[in-house]
Amino acid sequence: MVFKRTLDKLTEEKGILGCLLVDCEGLVVSESLGSGRKDPEEVAALAGMLTNFLEHWFGEMDGSPFDQCVLSTDSSSMAIRKVGCLYLVVFLKGSGLSGYMANIVTISEAVATIAMMLQRTCG
Amino acid sequence: MLGGRVLDVDLLLEEREVHEVHDILLREAVRLARELEGEDFDVGKFEAQVDNSREYYPNPKFCKLPPTFCSANCPIEECVRIKMLSEIEILRQIISDYRRRIFQKVTSAPEGPPHPQRKIKKLELEDLVRKEGVIALTVKYPDGWRDMGKVKLSTVSSELTALLDEHLKNVGIGEFRAALLHLSVGTYIICKGKFLLGVLAAPFVREGLLFLWAKEAAS
């Protein structure tokens, strides 16, 4: 419920279509995708698969942990940010980087909020 | 007053955290201002501007303590917490504005005839790999991938694009066009145009510009 409020607030932002929080195994922790949009389970599974791949590659490439990525499609874009042991997946309007750049501060604020909540919950 | 938003979470911040958030935002705002206005940017003047922009009257939204006096019996006009939270609001607004201006500066096409300095030229791959800050690139040709530069990127690019091509569409996100990844060595972009191209560049190369270079070279 604590995460849900932050996700709902992020989804209310102009240019953001929805978001969800997933764990490293691709399971939904909390979501705010709106009704009739994407299937949270499918999105979480994709995010889990992708982040596993990227974590592995980042480790091999320069030893650094995966932090964030932005994916662009022909119709929209999707940002994935690591928050503690979880991943925040945000769907944005417009392809390319413009949607992400326009909302980078808002997304970073949400990441900071979730990180703080995680710290308080998990210690 | 530049305005801004007070996030619910701000009200839960402890004193130490308020100072930390304020410092992080101030550093980020100064970094962006330098990027936008050059090294001549006057930090002192900027800090004074933030200070003067502050709305300095009791606002119960900032503080859960009684509206006039806090538990330490300080008058609200002298409350450091209120001062810091007001500045955090302002800094958020400034950062958002700077980011928007930087992005517009990099990407906006001029009205009327193209200005030679602002027009992005068609880049050949050899030109791209020689650009300052570009570490390596990889291109997919009909007969396979070709690496150029200091790092081999073909294997990961091939695996990542295969994964994204297969799954993004299935989930209803659309057809894969580009991916941007932040690494400690720099930024890595995969762009799908006429060619499939991956470029790794040093952190000082702005990602908006790198994206445009990659898009241009892949088209």
Contact between residue A9 and residue A106 where contact means Cβ atoms under 8 Å apart: no
In the predicted model, is pLDDT for residue B17 greater than 90?
Answer: no
Cut 0.80: pTM above it: no
* % of chain B surpassing 70 pLDDT: 68
Closest CA to A76 of A33, A106, A24, A29: A33
| A61, A76, A106: residue with CB nearest B174 | A76
Sequence-separated (6 or more) residues with CB below 8 Å from residue B82? B58, B59, B62, B63, B76
The pLDDT value given to residue B102: 73
The pLDDT value given to residue B190: 93
In our burial notation (b when 16+ CB lie closer than 10 A, e otherwise), range B177-202 reads bbbbbbbebbbbbbbbeeebbbbbbe
Distance, CA of B150 to chain centre:
26
Q: Which CATH number fits the domain that encloses residue A22? A: 3.30.450.30
Mean pLDDT lowest among A54-58, B39-43, B48-52: B48-52
In our burial notation (b when 16+ CB lie closer than 10 A, e otherwise), range B99-108 reads beebbeebbe
- Asked if B211 and A112 come within 8 Å (Cβ–Cβ), the reply is no
Domain total of chain A: 1
Average pLDDT rounded to a whole number, residues A12-36? 86
- Asked if B176 and A71 come within 8 Å (Cβ–Cβ), the reply is yes
pLDDT in tens, B67-101: 444 555 555 555 666 677 777 777 887 887 787 77
User: CB contact, 8 Å: B208 with chain A?
Assistant: yes
User: CB contact, 8 Å: B150 with chain A?
Assistant: no
Higher pLDDT, B49 or A10: A10
What residues of A are in contact with residue B21 (Cβ under 8 Å)? 112
Highest mean pLDDT (candidates A76-80, B40-44, B99-103) = A76-80
Average pLDDT rounded to a whole number, residues A28-46? 83
- Asked if B21 and A74 come within 8 Å (Cβ–Cβ), the reply is no
In the predicted model, is pLDDT for residue B12 greater than 80?
Answer: no
Structural domain of A55: 2-122
List, in sequence order, every residue forming a beta bridge with A71; answer none if it has no partner: A78, B179
Among A71, A81, A109, A111, which would you mutate to test the B interface (most chain B Cβ atoms within 10 Å of its Cβ)?
A71
B88, closest residue in chain A (CA to CA): A109
- Min CA distance, B140 vs chain A (Å)? 19
The pLDDT value given to residue B73: 57
Q: What distance in Å separates the CA atoms of residue A66 and residue B160, rounded to the nearest whole number?
A: 14
* % of chain A surpassing 70 pLDDT: 94
Complete domains list, chain B, with CATH: 8-107 (no CATH), 125-218 (3.30.450.30)
Per the structure block, which two tokens stand in for B36? Answer: 């936008």
Among B6, B8, B9, B12, which would you mutate to test the A interface (most chain A Cβ atoms within 10 Å of its Cβ)?
B9
Sequence-separated (6 or more) residues with CB below 8 Å from residue B49? none
- Min CA distance, A97 vs chain B (Å)? 7
- Min CA distance, B179 vs chain A (Å)? 4
- Asked if B171 and A39 come within 8 Å (Cβ–Cβ), the reply is yes
B96, closest residue in chain A (CA to CA): A105
| A5, A50, A69: residue with CB nearest B180 | A69
User: CB contact, 8 Å: B213 with chain A?
Assistant: no
In the predicted model, is pLDDT for residue B201 greater than 80?
Answer: yes
In the predicted model, is pLDDT for residue B114 greater than 50?
Answer: no
User: CB contact, 8 Å: B21 with chain A?
Assistant: yes
Calculate the alpha carbon distances from A84 to A29, A66, A69, B5, B162 in Å. 13, 11, 15, 25, 28
* % of chain B surpassing 90 pLDDT: 6
The pLDDT value given to residue B117: 41
Higher pLDDT, B102 or A25: A25
> What is the sign of the dihedral through the CA atoms of B167, A51, B211 and B105?
positive
State the pLDDT confidence band at A30, using cuts at 50, 70 and 90.
very high
Q: What distance in Å separates the CA atoms of residue B106 and residue B108, rounded to the nearest whole number?
A: 6
In the predicted model, is pLDDT for residue A44 greater than 60?
Answer: yes
User: CB contact, 8 Å: B159 with chain A?
Assistant: yes
Mean pLDDT lowest among A32-36, B1-5, B94-98, B207-211: B1-5
In the predicted model, is pLDDT for residue B60 greater than 50?
Answer: no
The pLDDT value given to residue B3: 36
Q: What distance in Å separates the CA atoms of residue A21 and residue A32, rounded to the nearest whole number?
A: 9
Mean of all residue pLDDT scores within chain A: 85
State the pLDDT confidence band at B56, using cuts at 50, 70 and 90.
very low
In the predicted model, is pLDDT for residue A66 greater than 70?
Answer: yes
Average pLDDT rounded to a whole number, residues B131-147? 86
The angle subtended at Cα B13 by Cα A68 and Cα B9, nearest 5°, is 60
